[in-house]
Amino acid sequence: MRATSLLTALFIFAIGTSLSAQDYVITVKGDSLAGKVKMFNFGVEKKVQVTTADKKKNNLSLFQVKMVMFENEKYVPAKGPAGYTFMKVVREGFLSLLAFQLENQTGYDGRYLQKKGGQGVEVPNLTFKKTLRNFLEDCPSLSQRIEAGEFSRNDLDRIIDEYNQCITGRFNAVQKQIAQQKQQTAKLNPWEALEEKVKSTADLEGKDNALEMITEIKGKIARAEKVPNFMVDGLRSILKAPEIQPELEAALKEIQ
């Protein structure tokens, strides 16, 4: 039994040592400092001290720090109700939930919501509905439900989840639109080249008709519409000159 207890104690000690070794600081320059971390989060000059394995003490001001990992908790600089301070990260996303120290308290009992761009607000008690409704108005459906009283301060997790889903959906839609625009641009480039080639080719019979067809095909590509075969055949029948064939085939390849 004693041997088992000793092994258990050694195991717990090893785990504790391993966890403490994970403490580190990431600076705004991207440097990483690992070692014994001390946070000084009170007073005017808030800072972090990192004592590395070589016993060197590195003192960093709040504005020199991007992130602190201390006792398996993540802390970031943020501007709260009382100015800039280190806040504990409770949840991360487009909308993050941070915890901060209330005045004259050592615990992180205050709650702060921060958007990806840095805009933030303290989570209040008395004006919760009005504050959150206005702060999250960029997601109208959620803002309206908060106004209707569907959520309370105890529903922060639900609010954060729904807001992040809302913004993620919007972000994905924008990314999809950008990808489609890039794809359309890639398809249009050979048609632009063909158009310029036709314009610069002298004595080309049916040039005006060909340019009109190219313009119409470009419009269909921009609208993501299918180009009818008769337009392709008509263009081929006009653009028979050998010097135009490379540009014509490159353009047609984009709609086949």
Query: For 34-49, what is each residue's pLDDT tens digit?
Result: 999 999 988 778 999 9
Taking CA atoms, 36 is separated from 20, 41, 209, 220, in Å, by: 8, 16, 77, 63
The rounded mean pLDDT for the chain is: 87
Does the predicted model carry a pTM greater than 0.75? Answer: no
Reported as a pLDDT band with limits 50, 70 and 90, residue 8 is very low
Tokens of 175: 């990314």
- What residues have CB less than 8 Å from 195, skipping those under 6 apart? 211, 214, 215, 218
Residue in the block written with tokens 């922060």: 156
Mean pLDDT calculated for residue range 91-107: 91
pLDDT beyond 60 at 4: no
Q: CB of 70 within 8 A of CB of 37?
A: yes
Query: For 13-32, what is each residue's pLDDT tens digit?
Result: 444 444 445 799 999 999 99
Query: For 67-94, what is each residue's pLDDT tens digit?
Result: 999 999 999 999 988 889 999 999 999 9
What percent of the chain lies above the pLDDT cut of 70? 92
